[in-house]
Amino acid sequence: MATAESLGAQIQGLSSNVVDLSLLSTRFKKADEELHNESTRLLAFLEQLDPTLHSLGYLYILEACTSRPVTNEQARRLVLNLSRFLTCCVADQIRLTSEKCVLSYFTLE
């Protein structure tokens, strides 16, 4: 996952069915360290995703963005994105990565 643009294309292209989501999950697991290293750049990109359609990708990016210290402005943006995610994420997608989100242990509607 070299750039935010290619990351976005992968998230948007691989979020439509279970097979593609499993592939996307595998790719994210392999790129976890890279995501954390690019977390400050990814915050702006996060706002371009739909947490309902792209819950898995949204979760990985959100987790990476919260893994490092942030400025007050970044924290405000993260809180808004986190709120958006929590209110409309798709449980079937986030269950593919239970190690990233405690919500996957609950029954979400």
Q: What would you report as the CA-atom Rg of the chain, rounded to the nearest whole angstrom?
A: 13
Rounded Cα distance, 48 and 54, in Å: 10
108 domain residue, yes or no: no
Place of tokens 């995501």: 35
pTM over 0.75: yes
Domain extent at residue 13: 4-100
48 domain residue, yes or no: yes
Q: How many CB atoms lie within 10 A of CB 108?
A: 14
**For each of the chain's 109 residues, which pLDDT tens digit applies?**
456 667 778 888 888 888 898 898 888 888 888 888 888 788 888 878 999 999 999 998 988 888 888 899 999 999 999 999 989 988 888 888 766 655 444 444 4
Tally of domains within the chain: 1
Q: Where are the alpha helices (DSSP H) in 31-108?
A: 32-37, 39-46, 55-65, 72-88, 91-94
Residue type, 70: V
95 domain residue, yes or no: yes
